[in-house]
Structure 1
Amino acid sequence: MFRHAQLESVKAWVVDPAQRSLPLHVRIQRAVRQLILDGALDASKPLPASRALATSLGVSRDTVEAAYGQLHAEGFIERRVGSGSFVAEGARRLGGRGTTARTSTTQQPLRLSQRGTAMYRNGGVREFLAPRAFVPGVPETRNFPLATWERLQRQVLKEWGSTALLHSPPQGMAPLRKAIADYVNLERGAHASPERVLVVTSSQQALTLCASVLLDPGEHIFIEDPAYHGARKAFDAAGLDCAPIPVDVDGMRVDLLRDARQRARAVFLTPSHQFPSGATLALERRLQIIEWARQHQAWIIEDDYDSEFHYAGRPMACVQGLDAHQRTIYIGTFTKSLFPGLRIGFMVLPTELVAPMTIARTLLDGHSAPIPQLTLARFMEGGHFGAHVRAMRAIYCERRDVLAKLVRRHLKDFVEPRVPDGGMQMPCVFIRDIPEQQAIDAARRARIDLLGLSGLHASRESASAGFLMGFAAHTPGELEAAVKKLAQVLRVVAR
Structure 2
Amino acid sequence: MFKHSQLESVKAWVAHPAHAAMPLHARVQRAIRQLIVDGVLGAGKPLPASRALAQSLGVSRDTIEVAYGQLHAEGFIERRVGSGSFVAEMTEFAPGRRLSQRDALHRNQAPKLSKRGTAMFGSGGIREQLLPRPFVHGVPETRTFPLPLWERLERQVRKELGAQTLLHCDPQGTEPLRRAIADYVNLERGARASADRVLVLTSSQQALSLCANMLLDPGDRVFIEDPAYYGARKAFDAAGLECVPIPVDRQGLVVDQITAQPRRAKAVFLTPSHQFPTGATLALDRRLALIEWAARHQTWIIEDDYDSEFHYAGKPTACVQGLDPHDRTVYIGTFTKSLFPGLRIGYVVLPPQLVKPMTVARTLLDGHSASMAQLTLARFMEGGHFGAHVRTMRGVYAQRLDVLVRLVRKYLSGFVEPRVPVGGLQLPCVLTCDLAERTVVDAAQRVGIELLGLSGLQHARHGEAGFLMGFAAYTPLEIEGAVKKLAKALRAAAKS
Q: Structure 2 length as normaliser, TM-score?
A: 0.94
- Cα distance, 1:55–1:403 mapped onto 2, change above 3 Å: farther
- Cα distance, 1:68–1:439 mapped onto 2, change above 3 Å: farther
Task: State the partner residue of 2:148.
Answer: 147
Q: Deviations over 1:427-473 (max 9, x none)?
A: 1222223233344344334332222211111111x122222111111
Paired with 2:217 and 2:460, the residues of 1 have a C-alpha distance of 24
SS of 1:459 mapped into structure 2: helix
Task: State the partner residue of 2:166.
Answer: 165
Task: State the partner residue of 1:456.
Answer: 457
SS of 2:36 mapped into structure 1: helix
- Residue 46, structure 1, aligned to residue 67, structure 2: no
- Tell which deviates more after alignment, 445-454 or 237-246: 445-454
- Residue 85, structure 1, aligned to residue 89, structure 2: no
Summarize the alignment of residues 369-388 of structure 1 with structure 2, pairs less than 5 Å apart.
369-388=370-389
Task: State the partner residue of 1:69.
Answer: 69
- Cα distance, 1:3–1:468 mapped onto 2, change above 3 Å: farther
Partner amino acid for 1:472? A
Task: State the partner residue of 1:482.
Answer: 482
Contact 2:36–2:93 (8 Å) recurs in 1: no
- Tell which deviates more after alignment, 224-233 or 146-155: 146-155
- Cα distance, 1:109–1:336 mapped onto 2, change above 3 Å: closer
Partner amino acid for 1:435? A
Contact 2:38–2:93 (8 Å) recurs in 1: no
Paired with 1:449 and 1:116, the residues of 2 have a C-alpha distance of 29
SS of 1:79 mapped into structure 2: strand
Task: State the partner residue of 1:357.
Answer: 358
- Cα distance, 1:344–1:16 mapped onto 2, change above 3 Å: same
Partner amino acid for 1:365? D
Partner amino acid for 1:436? E
Shift of residue 93, structure 1, vs aligned partner? 5.0
Shift of residue 8, structure 1, vs aligned partner? 4.0
Contact 2:39–2:93 (8 Å) recurs in 1: no
Paired with 1:55 and 1:482, the residues of 2 have a C-alpha distance of 64
Aligned alpha-carbon RMSD (Å): 2.1
- Tell which deviates more after alignment, 383-392 or 55-64: 55-64
Q: Deviations over 1:324-374 (max 9, x none)?
A: 111100000001101111111111111111111111111111111111111
Paired with 1:253 and 1:147, the residues of 2 have a C-alpha distance of 46
Paired with 2:190 and 2:414, the residues of 1 have a C-alpha distance of 43
- Residue 392, structure 1, aligned to residue 393, structure 2: yes
Paired with 1:82 and 1:245, the residues of 2 have a C-alpha distance of 82
SS of 1:292 mapped into structure 2: helix
Contact 1:39–1:99 (8 Å) recurs in 2: no
Paired with 1:288 and 1:44, the residues of 2 have a C-alpha distance of 79
Partner amino acid for 2:36? I
Q: Deviations over 1:78-135 (max 9, x none)?
A: 22334433221116359xx874596364045410100000000001111111121111
Task: State the partner residue of 1:472.
Answer: 472
SS of 2:121 mapped into structure 1: helix
Task: State the partner residue of 2:207.
Answer: 206
SS of 2:44 mapped into structure 1: coil
Paired with 2:61 and 2:418, the residues of 1 have a C-alpha distance of 71
- Tell which deviates more after alignment, 292-301 or 4-13: 4-13
Paired with 1:351 and 1:377, the residues of 2 have a C-alpha distance of 22
- Tell which deviates more after alignment, 212-221 or 97-106: 97-106
Identity across the alignment (%): 70
Partner amino acid for 2:92? R
Summarize the alignment of residues 79-478 of structure 1 with structure 2, pairs less than 5 Å apart.
79-90=79-90, 92-93=92-93, 99=99, 103=104, 105-460=106-461, 462-478=462-478
Partner amino acid for 1:274? Q
Paired with 2:157 and 2:407, the residues of 1 have a C-alpha distance of 45
Q: Deviations over 1:396-447 (max 9, x none)?
A: 1111111112222222242222221110111122222323334434433433
Contact 1:202–1:343 (8 Å) recurs in 2: yes
SS of 2:266 mapped into structure 1: strand
Shift of residue 292, structure 1, vs aligned partner? 0.9
Matched length: 493
Paired with 2:264 and 2:16, the residues of 1 have a C-alpha distance of 60
SS of 2:275 mapped into structure 1: coil
Partner amino acid for 1:194? A
